[in-house]
Amino acid sequence: MCVRQKVVDKIESVPLIKVEKPKKVSGYFGSNTFSISEMQKRIGKKTFVSFKRWLAGGSTISMEEADEIAGAMKDWAVEKGAVYYAHWFQPMTGLTAEKHDSFISLQGAGKVKEKFSGSKLILGEPDASSFPSGGIRSTFEARGYTAWDPSSPAFISETQLGKTLCIPSIFVSYHGYALDKKLPLLRSDEALSKAAKKLLKLFSPRDIAKIVSTCGPEQEYFLIDHNYYKLRQDLMLTGRTLIGASSPKGQQLEDQYFGSIKERVLNYMEEVAVEAYKMGIPVTTRHNEVAPHQFEFAPIFEESNLAADHNQLLMEIMKKVALRHNLVCLLHEKPFAGINGSGKHVNWSMADDQGNNLLNPGLTPEDNLQFLAVLVAVLRAVHKHADLLRASIASAGNEHRLGANEAPPAIVSVFLGEQLTKVLDTIVAGTAHKVTKKDIIDLGVSRLPKVNKDATDRNRTSPFAFTGSKFEFRAVGSSQNISWPLTVINTIIADSLNYVAEEIIKELKNKDFESAVVAVIAKLAKETKNIRFEGNNYSSEWLFEAKERGLPNVASTAEALAAFAEKGNIAIFEKQGVLSYDELMARYNIWVEMYNIVLTIEASTLREMVDSIVVPAGLEYQGQLANNLEKISGLKATIGLNIDEKAFEDLKGHLADVTNKIFYLRKNTQVLVKLLEKAKSLEGKEKAAVYFNELKPLMEHIRKHSDDLEGVIADEHWDLPKYREMLFVM
The binding site for Mg ion (CB under 5 A) comprises 345
The dihedral through the CA atoms of 309, 310, 311, 314 has a sign that is positive
Shortest Å, Cβ 315 to Mg ion = 18
Q: CA gyration radius for the chain?
A: 29
**Which residue from 96, 169, 214, 576 is in contact with ligand ADP, where contact means CB under 6 A?**
214
- 133 vs 294 by CB, closer to ligand ADP: 294
| Contact in structure between 361 and 439 (CB atoms under 8 Å) | no
Contact status: 344 vs ligand ADP (CB under 6 A): no
- 326 vs 368 by CB, closer to ligand ADP: 368
| Contact in structure between 61 and 69 (CB atoms under 8 Å) | yes
Contact status: 357 vs ligand ADP (CB under 6 A): yes
Shortest Å, Cβ 480 to Mg ion = 16
Among positions 634-653, residues that touch ligand ADP (CB under 6 A) are none
Shortest Å, Cβ 457 to ligand ADP = 7
Task: Using CB positions, name the residue nearest to ligand ADP.
Answer: 216
Q: Which long-range contacts (CB under 8 A, 24 or more apart) does 428-435 make?
A: 428/522, 428/525, 428/526, 428/529, 430/522, 433/366, 433/518, 434/366, 434/367, 435/364, 435/366, 435/367
- HSE at residue 255, side-chain half, CA atoms within 13 A, is 6
Contact status: 267 vs ligand ADP (CB under 6 A): no
**Which residue from 30, 150, 168, 299 is in contact with ligand ADP, where contact means CB under 6 A?**
299
Shortest Å, Cβ 339 to ligand ADP = 20
- Separation of first and last alpha carbons in the chain: 19
Q: With CB under 6 A as the contact rule, which of the stretches 251-259, 292-300, 575-583, 603-611 interacts with ligand ADP?
A: 292-300
DSSP string, 478-504: TTS-THHHHHHHHHHHHHHHHHHHHHH
Q: Which does 298 bind (CB under 5 to 8 A by kind): Mg ion, ligand ADP, none?
A: ligand ADP
Q: With CB under 6 A as the contact rule, which of the stretches 3-11, 294-302, 660-668, 701-709 interacts with ligand ADP?
A: 294-302
Shortest Å, Cβ 205 to Mg ion = 36
| Contact in structure between 616 and 608 (CB atoms under 8 Å) | no
DSSP string, 278-300: HTT--EEEEEE-SSTTEEEEEEP
- 454 vs 545 by CB, closer to ligand ADP: 454
Q: Indicate the length of the chain as a whole number.
A: 730
Q: With CB under 6 A as the contact rule, which of the stretches 157-165, 344-352, 540-548, 699-707 interacts with ligand ADP?
A: 344-352
| Contact in structure between 66 and 118 (CB atoms under 8 Å) | yes
Residue type, 494: A
Shortest Å, Cβ 305 to ligand ADP = 13
Closest listed residue to residue 617, CA positions, set 658, 646, 653 = 658
Give the separation between CA 222 and CA 339, rounded to whole angstroms: 12
Judged by CB under 6 A, the number of residues near ligand ADP is 16
**Which residue from 216, 244, 397, 618 is in contact with ligand ADP, where contact means CB under 6 A?**
216
| Contact in structure between 717 and 260 (CB atoms under 8 Å) | no
| Contact in structure between 270 and 285 (CB atoms under 8 Å) | no
Shortest Å, Cβ 347 to Mg ion = 7
Give the separation between CA 313 and CA 575, rounded to whole angstroms: 32
- 1 vs 300 by CB, closer to ligand ADP: 300
Q: Which does 299 bind (CB under 5 to 8 A by kind): Mg ion, ligand ADP, none?
A: ligand ADP
Q: With CB under 6 A as the contact rule, which of the stretches 208-216, 252-260, 552-560, 646-654 interacts with ligand ADP?
A: 208-216
Q: Which does 301 bind (CB under 5 to 8 A by kind): Mg ion, ligand ADP, none?
A: ligand ADP
Question: 300-339 mask for ligand ADP (x: CB under 6 A)?
Answer: xx--------------------------------------
Give the separation between CA 662 and CA 680, rounded to whole angstroms: 27
**Which residue from 152, 347, 537, 596 is in contact with ligand ADP, where contact means CB under 6 A?**
347
Contact status: 483 vs ligand ADP (CB under 6 A): no
Give the separation between CA 215 and CA 353, rounded to whole angstroms: 16
Among positions 462-481, residues that touch ligand ADP (CB under 6 A) are 467, 469-470, 472
Contact status: 459 vs ligand ADP (CB under 6 A): no
Reading phi first (left if > 0) and then psi (alpha if -120 to 50, else beta), residue 168 is in beta
Residues that bind ligand ADP (CB under 6 A): 214-216, 218, 298-301, 347-349, 357, 467, 469-470, 472
